[in-house]
């Protein structure tokens, strides 16, 4: 950790050269053997100014199992390099045999084809000890909204769909007038697609289901276009059967559809 601390001290806060780090960054974090999970999701909520970087991080297996931490850091604009250190656990909902890890990230910023990314390595220490967490790699993309935003809205159950095939295709259409609606889709507490526009031509997701498990698909309104609320036609295809579900959601309420694969005996 002394090496990382020296790197942080050696950084100077410089111009970002038009690079806006502010916002939500989501991706995956890998970990060498010895951690709770070999791979899990991570979200950084970054606030950057000329004094440095601050914000919150979420390490999560899904949005019901997570550790929320605050962090601070610095940015070297000339090298597109960022150093971030987590300083305190704010909240945790993880298995009892897991321990929160306070991590330091050594990240490089890049932008290709209008996709902004942060990637690099991390090291850390288990909270309350000097024991090092197994290190790993991290890759993030800038996105429009937090995976945890849905937790602050009421979720209204719409319908339960019983299917007889494990392979499910879900098409999402704008229902009625195309007015700029966009949604984020969560499937079993994980982001399946983020900030996707609804139109008369569908966007499609595919899922493979295990038998007799209740899966939940939640639609989170990112934009309600010119006419509120966000309305969508969701077409669920499994085998030869199609199920049409009309849903609506807004900035106070999500919409939920549950799907169960009823395997024939």
> Mean pLDDT for each 10-residue chunk of the chain (265 residues)?
42 52 92 80 91 91 87 89 94 84 94 93 81 89 84 87 95 88 89 88 96 94 85 94 94 93 82
Please report, for the chain, the start and end positions of each structural domain, with discontinuous segments joined by +.
2-143, 149-261
Decide the pairing of beta strands 230-238 and 101-112: unpaired
Element (H, E) at 90: strand 81-93
Establish whether domains 2-143 and 149-261 are of one fold. Answer: no
Would you state the pLDDT for residue 264?
Answer: 76
Length of the chain: 265
Please state which CATH number belongs to domain 149-261.
2.60.40
Fold of 2-143: Lipocalin (2.40.128)
């Amino acid at each position: 950790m002394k090496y990382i601390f020296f790197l942080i001290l050696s950084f100077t806060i410089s111009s970002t050269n038009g690079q806006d780090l502010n916002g939500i960054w989501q991706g995956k974090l890998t970990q060498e053997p010895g951690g709770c999970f070999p791979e899990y999701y991570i979200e950084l909520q970054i606030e950057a100014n000329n004094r440095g970087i601050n914000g919150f991080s979420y390490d999560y297996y899904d949005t019901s199992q997570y550790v929320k931490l605050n962090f601070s850091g610095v940015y070297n604009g000339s090298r597109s390099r960022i150093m971030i250190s987590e300083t305190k656990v704010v909240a945790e909902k993880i298995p009892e045999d897991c321990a929160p890890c306070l991590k330091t990230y050594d990240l490089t910023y890049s932008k290709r084809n209008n996709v902004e990314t942060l990637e690099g390595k991390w090291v850390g220490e288990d909270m309350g000890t000097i024991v090092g967490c197994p290190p790993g790699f991290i890759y993030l993309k800038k996105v429009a909204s937090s995976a945890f935003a849905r937790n602050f809205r009421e979720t209204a159950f719409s319908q339960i769909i019983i299917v007889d095939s494990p392979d499910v295709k879900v098409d999402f259409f704008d229902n009625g007038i195309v007015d700029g609606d966009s949604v984020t889709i969560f499937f079993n507490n994980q982001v399946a697609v983020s900030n996707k526009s609804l139109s008369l031509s569908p966007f499609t997701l595919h899922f493979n289901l295990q038998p007799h498990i209740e899966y939940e698909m939640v639609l989170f309104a990112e934009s309600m276009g010119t006419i509120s609320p966000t309305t969508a036609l969701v077409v669920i295809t499994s085998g030869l059967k199609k199920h049409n579900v009309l849903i609506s959601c807004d900035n106070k309420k999500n919409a939920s559809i549950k799907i169960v694969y009823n395997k024939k005996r």
